[in-house]
Chain A
Amino acid sequence: QKEVEQDPGPLSVPEGAIVSLNCTYSNSAFQYFMWYRQYSRKGPELLMYTYSSGNKEDGRFTAQVDKSSKYISLFIRDSQPSDSATYLCAMSGNNRLAFGKGNQVVVIP
């Protein structure tokens, strides 16, 4: 079983729709959870960071963590064409940092 599983997509949605992304993990030591956004030919930028179960909102973005199920999600409300990018989940704990492979999102105007 891979340490972090993330469906690579691609995921195409119409503008204004809700984008739902998720990752599962197997390492119970992971305590910190992050989402990065990576535009084509650019470095990943930190989008969301959380360390507890539950929801964290930042504008149109909501990060959700369920430690009991080892499952994290990112929701993008009112998606815009500028949200078209690859989204990578990442998680760390006990001297381990692991990334998902990334999920490509395309928002169609």
Chain B
Amino acid sequence: SQTIHQWPATLVQPVGSPLSLECTVEGTSNPNLYWYRQAAGRGLQLLFYSVGIGQISSEVPQNLSASRPQDRQFILSSKKLLLSDSGFYLCAWGPLDRASTDTQYFGPGTRLTVL
């Protein structure tokens, strides 16, 4: 069965500090991978998605970036965090044999607080 991991689970960072969140998927090959941010009352905001190693599409221009160094690894980064980057960050995967926007399966999330 497929499993998706995210770490850290919780993170408190000062404004201006760097960020690195990691997501890994087990039990599947060539998944589509996604980063979302979920803010209270605002629903899920798609940040990045990837259909393969080194292939990243950005949905929202901002001070965040994503990378996919390995097939089942997806990393969300920032060089300098802003207060507005606080939120609940979710990684998701979707099977390659379906449309890239079909069913997605979410990880446990990382709660980021920027102070």
Contacts and interface: CB of A to CB of B under 8 A. Distances in A.
Binding between chains A and B: yes
Interface residues of B, number: 20
A46 B103 contact: yes
B27 interface: no
A109 to B, nearest CB: 26
Interface stretch (A12-20, A55-63, A75-83, A94-102): A94-102
Interface string A20-48: 00000000000010101000011111100
A101 B103 contact: no
Contacts of B46: 97
A41 B41 CA distance: 14
B90 A43 contact: yes
A32 B102 contact: yes
A81 to B, nearest CB: 22
A49 B103 contact: yes
Contacts of A34: 103
A20 to B, nearest CB: 20
Contacts of B44: 44, 88, 99
A95 B106 contact: no
A92 to B, nearest CB: 5
Interface stretch (B12-20, B66-74, B75-83, B107-115): B107-115
Question: In the complex, which of the residues B6, B41, B99, B105 has the most CB atoms of chain A within 10 Å of its own CB atom?
Answer: B99
Interface string B42-54: 1110100000000
Contacts of A8: 41
B101 interface: yes
Contacts of A49: 103
A92 B102 contact: yes
B55 interface: no
A41 B109 contact: yes
B107 A97 contact: no
B100 A43 contact: no
Interface of A: 8, 32, 34, 36, 41-46, 49, 88, 90, 92-93, 95-97, 99-102
Given A42-B108, A97-B102, 7 more contacts: A8-B41, A43-B109, A49-B103, A93-B101, A96-B101, A101-B41, A101-B42
